[in-house]
Chain A
Amino acid sequence: MVTTPTRTAHPLGLELDHIDHSYMIGGAFTPVLDDISLTIAPGEFVALLGPSGCGKSTLLRLIAGLEPPHGGAILAEGTPIAGPGPDRIVMFQDPTLYPWRTVRGNVALGHDIAGRRDPAAVAAAIELVGLKGFERAWPHQLSGGMAQRAALARALVNDPRLLILDEPLGKLDSLTRLTMQTELHRLWRDRGFTAIMVTHDVEEALLLATRIIVFSPRPARIIGDLPIDLPPHRHRDDPRLLDLRRNILVQLGHSADW
């Protein structure tokens, strides 16, 4: 970790204006998002918490521009999002590295798409996530944690103004997960991009986010919007976090009786 990370010049601000969305399931439209309105300030780290299958990941796909919303509008700095763009990079639950590319080739994907070559930036991103020495490894030779690190480097090399995290740590073992949480937090602090993260893990949300949005079961509505007014260096055992945790679990329908 010798490289001094470049600060993202302009973290992206977002405005979600009455978003509705539905999916065709079994020949019928099933609503997944119901009137979602949300303003995200540049540089925020927002965690989206909610029961599994409620539509959080769908919301991320809409923000990424992979699909247009059926109703409402998503504005990035006042202009509607028309499609995907390299300033908004998604990190998925699975690393989804291309098996036919080496680690270096995978990290350079964004550059290839943009049609430019910047081996120094690729090398720096690989070093930043601690994969130096594995540049020429094939994805099938990596452990789950290493693969997800490579995916993180692949996202960071684009200097995203908004990092969209779709449960990126969900499938990692608990120790790797703790390390990656710390590193993700450090990266966000150093680079200053805006981050939106879907997670099932209340503790993870409390540890990383500046603000937690709680969703209802499908169709997802916003039922809670909690700013986390704690210093960025938090300890997992901070009693204030425990209070917040209990509060959120109640909102998610788990009463405090255990």
Chain B
Amino acid sequence: MSASDTRAPPLRATGQTATKAGPRRALLPWAAGPAWFLAALVTWRWPDADDFPDTSRLAALFLAVGLGLTAAAALRRLSARAPWAIALGLGFAAWEIAQAKLLWLPRPFFGTPQDLLDVFLTDWKRLGDSLLHSLGLLAVGYGIGAVLGVAVGVGLGRSLRFRYWVRPLIRLVGPLPPVALLPLAFVLIPSGRLASEALLALAAGFPTTILTWSGVAAVDPAYYDVARTMGARNRFLVLRVALPAAMPQIFVGLFMGLGVSFATLVVAEMLGVKSGLGFYMQWAQGWAAYPNMYAALLVMSLMCTGLVTLLFKVRDRVLSWQKDGLKW
């Protein structure tokens, strides 16, 4: 009793600060627009240190974002994201001042915001094309690797004979970084695209195989007994018992495989396939076109995070029966 008595006053005090923070939290979204207006003003009015392209367009873009954020604040659509919106606006303003106006960092390695914008405005077609190529390569290679990985993992977990023959191969080839096979693959497989897809499949397949195997091996034998006493055959036990039970582990494997696939993709595109974002970056570096490289990096990171998000969305769907899960 006494403990709760002594705790009562501070509890009330925190309640008061919460109500005091209320109006401040309500005002915060309204600061996001002005942060971007500031970036627009600095870009537009402060003379550039050199002859940069698209300064006025960049200012217009900042202005447009500022207006959009103000509208969002008015519609009360901007509460949790307000601090980030403000920080980004101020960050762009700082970058603009440091590089476009004062040239603090050495060129051409460090670009200005308008350089980056210029790349997207002038080279969007080639960037988009590279993105599609990368996505196409990933889709085929990763897709095949994921399906094969799950199949081989189930085989390893369920069949003694399969395990006897396949396990040594997996142990020999699996831990090898897929990029180490790149030179060989380009010699053995005449098409660079096919060779890259094979390596991507390997990259995605190994972690998926191992984690599927571990998931299937860890299935409570009682789950099989329950189905077997009702007359279930092997097909049901694999597809409707082992696979769903192993699903949490399988998704860990798919996630790891996706990461290795990204790495393999970039290297394969840089060394073999003459297309895709990796190739674009290689090309940009060769021409010392650093803004292009930054642009390609940005696109690539959006692609990777988008694919990971997609995977997690599928996972949340499939594993909705789990008590709780990681929020990506």
Interface positions of A (Cβ within 8 A of B): 61, 64-66, 84-86, 88-90, 92, 94, 96, 98-102, 109-110, 112-114, 138, 140, 154, 158, 164
Q: 6 closest Cβ contacts across the A-B interface?
A: A100-B244, A90-B229, A110-B230, A96-B222, A86-B231, A113-B232
Q: Can you name 30 A-B pairs with beta carbons within 8 Å?
A: A64-B229, A66-B229, A84-B228, A84-B229, A84-B230, A86-B231, A88-B229, A89-B229, A89-B230, A92-B222, A92-B225, A92-B226, A96-B220, A96-B222, A96-B223, A98-B223, A98-B241, A99-B321, A100-B244, A100-B245, A100-B247, A100-B319, A102-B321, A109-B226, A109-B227, A109-B230, A113-B227, A113-B230, A114-B231, A154-B226
> Which residues of chain B (164-223) have a CB below 8 Å from chain A?
220, 222-223
Chain A residues within an 8 Å CB radius of B240: 112
- CB pair B226–A138 under 8 Å, yes or no, is no
Chain A minimum-CB-distance residue to B323 = A140
Chain A contacts of B321 at CB under 8 A? 99-102, 138, 140
Tell me whether B162 is interfacial, beta carbon within 8 Å: no
Looking at the assembled complex, report how far the CB atom of A142 sits from the nearest CB atom of chain B, in whole angstroms. 12
Chain A residue with Cβ nearest B230: A110
A190–B222 alpha-carbon span in the complex (Å): 29
Neighbour of B245 across the interface among A90, A94, A98, A112, CB < 8 A: A98
Residues of B121-137 whose CB lies within 8 A of A: none
Complex Cα distance, B226 from A112, in Å, reads 13
Residues of B within 8 A of A114 (CB): 230-231
Query: Could you tell me the dominant secondary structure of chain B's interface residues?
Result: helix
Complex: how many Å from CA A148 to CA B223? 15
Q: When chains A and B are docked, how far (Å) is the Cα of A100 from the Cα of B320?
A: 8
Q: Which of chain B's residues 216-271 have a Cβ closer than 8 Å to chain A?
A: 220, 222-223, 225-232, 236, 240-241, 244-245, 247
Known interface pairs A85-B231, A100-B244, A100-B245. Does A113 touch B236 (Cβ–Cβ under 8 Å)?
yes
- Which residues of the other chain, A, contact B222 by a CB distance below 8 angstroms? 92, 94, 96
| Cα of A100 to Cα of B226 in the assembled complex, Å | 14
Residues of the A chain whose Cβ atoms lie less than 8 Å from the Cβ of B227: 109, 113
- Shortest A122–chain B CB gap in Å is 14
Inter-chain residue pair count (beta carbon < 8 A): 62
Residues of B within 8 A of A (CB): 220, 222-223, 225-232, 236, 240-241, 244-245, 247, 319, 321-323
A211 and B168 alpha carbons, distance in the complex (Å):
55
Question: Shortest distance in angstroms between B317's beta carbon and chain A's nearest beta carbon?
Answer: 12
What residues of chain A lie closer than 8 Å to B223, measured between beta carbons?
96, 98
Chain A residues with CB under 8 Å of B228's CB are: 66, 84
Contacts of A65 in B (CB 8 A): 229
> B232 — which chain A residues lie within 8 A by C-beta?
113
Q: Tell me which residues across on chain B come within 8 A of A110, comparing CB atoms.
A: 230-231
Q: How far is the CB of B143 from chain A (nearest CB, A)?
A: 24
Q: Which residues of A contact B236 (CB under 8 A)?
A: 112-113
> Bound complex: CA of A251 vs CA of B68, how far in Å?
85
| Closest chain A residue, CB of each to CB of B319 | A100
Which of chain A's residues have a CB closer than 8 A to the CB of B231?
Answer: 84-86, 110, 113-114
Q: How many Å from the CB of A118 to the closest CB on chain B?
A: 14
Q: In this complex, what residue of B is CB-closest to A139?
A: B321
Q: Of B226, B244, B247, B322, which is within 8 A of A96 by CB?
A: B226
List, in ascending order, chain B residues with CB within 8 A of A89's CB: 229-230
- Chain A residues with CB below 8 A from B245, complex form: 98, 100
Q: Kindly provide the distance from the CB of B109 to the nearest chain A CB, expressed in whole angstroms.
A: 52
- Chain B, Cβ-Cβ closest to A106: B226
Cβ distance A25 to chain B, nearest Cβ, rounded Å:
17
Contacts of A61 in B (CB 8 A): 225
**Which residue of chain B is the closest to A92 with respect to CB atoms?**
B222
A66 to B229, CA, bound (A): 7
Whole-angstrom distance between the Cβ of A73 and the nearest chain B Cβ: 19
Cβ–Cβ < 8 Å partners of A92 in chain B: 222, 225-226
Chain B residues whose C-beta falls within 8 Å of the C-beta of A164 in the assembled complex? 229
Residues of A within 8 A of B241 (CB): 98
| A96 to B323 alpha-carbon distance, docked (Å) | 17
> Are the C-beta atoms of A98 and B244 separated by less than 8 Å?
yes
* Bound complex: CA A109 to CA B224 (Å): 12
CB of B230 within 8 A of CB of A86, answer yes
Give the chain B neighbours of A90 by CB distance below 8 A. 225-226, 229
| B244 partner residues in chain A, CB cutoff 8 A | 98, 100
Residues of B contacting A96 in the complex (Cβ-Cβ under 8 angstroms): 220, 222-223, 225-226
User: How many angstroms between the C-alpha atoms of A114 and B240 in the bound complex?
Assistant: 13
The minimal Cβ–Cβ distance linking B251 to chain A, given in whole angstroms, is: 13
Q: Which residue of A has the minimal Cβ distance to B231?
A: A86
> Chain A CB within 10 Å — which of B227, B236, B244, B321 has the most?
B321
